[in-house]
Amino acid sequence: MSRIDEQVEILMAGTEYGDPQIKERMTEELRERLLQAEKEGRPLRVYCGYDPRKPDLHLGHTITMRKLRQFQDFGHEVTFLIGTFTSLIGDPSDVDKTRAQLTPEQVEEHARTYQEQAFKILDPEKTIVRRNDEWLAKLDFRDIIRLAQNFTVQQFLTRENFAKRLEAGQPIYLHEMFYSLMQAYDAVALRTDVQVGGQDQLFNILVAGRKLQQALGQPPLIAVIMGESLPGTDGEKKMSKSLGNHIPLMTTAEDMYGKVMSVPDKAMPIYHKLLFAYTPEQLKELEQRMAEDPMGVKKALAFRVVAEFYGEEGARRAQAHFERVIQGQGLPEDMPEYAIEADTRVVDILAAAGLTRSKGDAKRQIKGGGVRLNGEKVSDFEALVKLEQLPAVLQVGKRRFVRVVRG
């Protein structure tokens, strides 16, 4: 197998376009672009964009990052693009209603740690980090008109999410159509050869990006569209922070290990396939191991995932914590402490100690039966931790603890 053939086989693995003819065309275009770049003595320019709509990336985002890493390993130029401008609007591709708009301050705060998180997968020495406000913020209204004249309203209305909203009588705002236009201009600004994305990016990349590049005199990009999305901890729906089924990258080793262990057994094959590129033969072997020792398989997966982000020592620590606290129903040795000087409401302590996002969230956790004081379930919003009870242990869910002590 030639080096070009090897690259095409690996780089197109796991891609899906909903149409075998499109996949065949993208495969051949990638082969031709690789040959052309080799003759020119240059690497391919490859990028994927990540909008900082939320402050943290999660394990699902690493699927496209792993594909970027494959391009890096073959010596190609990879750009990790932070959508500091596009995120002000928000991508409408995978939602059935208008996204709330963010402020520049919110976007900046969310974007602050994206580079650090990306380098958990990407090689920092080989990664170019860009922000798309570098070029999008400089466009004036004439520029927008010039770019928009390359598209029709009908093209946008054929998109599945817009079509559903139109049929249901739900509003589709004009600014939402600008998102694809802006993302397409990212490809132009970067003069990209390849753009990597998920299934929800088919229109933005395959239609808008390629068309705008051609209209502005550039060769159309090759779309590398990942075929499957990583399901969340429910094992069903696509991993998403808004659904609360995500495994964040910016968390503790113990929390990451515990969340991977909470994934249903039925999702083990797709986790191994997407995170560690298991072949059909390996998946068949995995199925046999799952039948014999499902807990062992999940522990091995959780250890491997955590080790990738926190090292083997972090993974060993996380596994020991899980076995002691979750399996052994014990208490963590390194439990944080919170001091009180008088009898204090449980909801106040939970919010102040950071075990819940707010007092309202604390009440929701109590209502859901997820709060325990010294092992006993708390059911009263006005329940107190009394000085005479100290030291006491408050627990939210299975993995969040605080030891309450006298201040």
Per-residue HEC secondary structure of the chain comes to CCHHHHHHHHHCCCECCCCHHHHHHHHHHHHHHHHHHHHHCCCCEEEEEECCCCCCCEHHHHHHHHHHHHHHHCCCEEEEEECCCHHHCCCCCCCCCCCCCCCHHHHHHHHCCHHHHHCCCCCHHHEEEEECHHHHCCCCHHHHHHHHCCCCHHHHHCCHHHHHHHHCCCCCCHHHHHHHHHHHHHHHHHCCCEEEECHHHHHHHHHHHHHHHHHCCCCCCEEEEECCCCECCCCCCECCHHHCCCCECCCCHHHHHHHHHCCCHHHHHHHHHHHHCCCHHHHHHHHHHHHHCHHHHHHHHHHHHHHHHHHHHHHHHHHHHHHHHHHCCCCCCCCCEEEECCCEEHHHHHHHCCCCCCHHHHHHHHHCCCEEECCEECCCCCCEECHHHCCEEEEECCCEEEEEEEC
Given a contact cutoff of 8 angstroms between Cβ atoms, the answer to whether 86 and 54 are in contact is no
Closest CA to 16 of 226, 277, 231, 274: 226
Domain with CATH 3.40.50.620 in the chain: 3-225
Domain with CATH 3.10.290.10 in the chain: 337-406
pLDDT tens sequence across 380-390:
899 998 876 77
**Amino acid 277: pLDDT:** 86
Question: 3-225 adopts what CATH topology?
Answer: Rossmann fold (3.40.50)
Span 340-360, average pLDDT: 92
Class of domain 337-406: alpha beta
Domain with CATH 1.10.240.10 in the chain: 251-327
Span 214-225, average pLDDT: 97
- pLDDT of residue 180 exceeding 80, the answer is yes
Tell me what the pLDDT averaged over the chain comes to: 88
Closest CA to 180 of 114, 108, 95, 89: 89
For the chain, what is the radius of gyration of the CA atoms?
24
Which residues face 82 on adjacent strands? Answer: 50, 131
pLDDT band at 131 (very low <50, low <70, confident <90, very high): very high
For the domain spanning 251-327, the CATH number is 1.10.240.10
pLDDT tens sequence across 245-291:
889 898 888 889 988 988 889 999 999 999 998 889 999 999 999 99
Q: Provide the whole-model pTM.
A: 0.76
Given a contact cutoff of 8 angstroms between Cβ atoms, the answer to whether 275 and 247 are in contact is no
